[in-house]
Chain A
Amino acid sequence: AQSVTQPDIHITVSEGASLELRCNYSYGATPYLFWYVQSPGQGLQLLLKYFSGDTLVQGIKGFEAEFKRSQSSFNLRKPSVHWSDAAEYFCAVGGVSGTYKYIFGTGTRLKVLA
């Protein structure tokens, strides 16, 4: 069965420090991969996506992610975190089983220390 795993439920980093949020997926084919961010009480905003091609994708707000097929991973990174990055981050796999379905990970809550 398809699944998305975000191993870290909570992550705390200091402002200015680098960040890596982990995401692993289980899917038979090459999936469409996404990272979304959600601020409290808000909807989801797309940070970046991978469909094909270059495995290092750049997103908004200085985020990037790297697709590693051999590790079934799509980790999100940012070289220097800002206090405004504190939010919930969701990794998602799209186009599951040839459908429109998306599977979301359980999310990682990021806390940024001043």
Chain B
Amino acid sequence: GAVVSQHPSWVICKSGTSVKIECRSLDFQATTMFWYRQFPKQSLMLMATSNEGSKATYEQGVEKDKFLINHASLTLSTLTVTSAHPEDSSFYICSGSRREGGELFFGEGSRLTVL
């Protein structure tokens, strides 16, 4: 299967700072990448869909100015949590797909803790 790598795996930051999480498809070109948020013991909540070279599409209720998503190339998407607050603490998971409806390949996830 294809490999998606996320970095960092975990990050602790102070309230008010910004944090960037990278999502890379290592051995395939991800035409579309997805960012999910997962609260403890809950399912994955889709935050946004990003297509290479275009603006991300955010799900209802997700603040696009707080969660900045950039998909600059077919192998890299980034999620920046701006002015992070403790309520932004969560497990963030990215995934990539080669084609519509195809299998999603997930990153290992990034655990963000905001103090």
Contacts and interface: CB of A to CB of B under 8 A. Distances in A.
A32 interface: yes
Interface string B102-115: 11111111010000
B34 A102 contact: yes
B22 to A, nearest CB: 14
Contacts of B41: 109
B43 A90 contact: yes
Interface residues on B, range: 20 to 34
A106 interface: yes
Given A104-B43, A107-B43, A43 B103 contact: no
A104 B93 CA distance: 13
A38 to B, nearest CB: 9
Interface string A86-103: 000010101100111110
Interface in B61-115: 91, 93, 95, 97, 100-109, 111
B6 interface: yes
Contacts of B104: 34, 44, 46, 92, 94, 102
Interface residues of A, number: 25
A40 B32 CA distance: 26
A105 B4 CA distance: 22
A45 B106 contact: yes
B12 interface: no
A41 interface: yes
B49 interface: yes
Given A42-B108, A49-B103, A100-B32, A106 B93 contact: no
- Please give me the 6 A-B residue pairs with the lowest Cβ-Cβ distance, nearest first: A95-B101, A44-B106, A43-B106, A43-B108, A100-B32, A43-B109
8 contacts: A32-B102, A36-B106, A41-B91, A41-B111, A46-B103, A46-B104, A99-B49, A99-B100
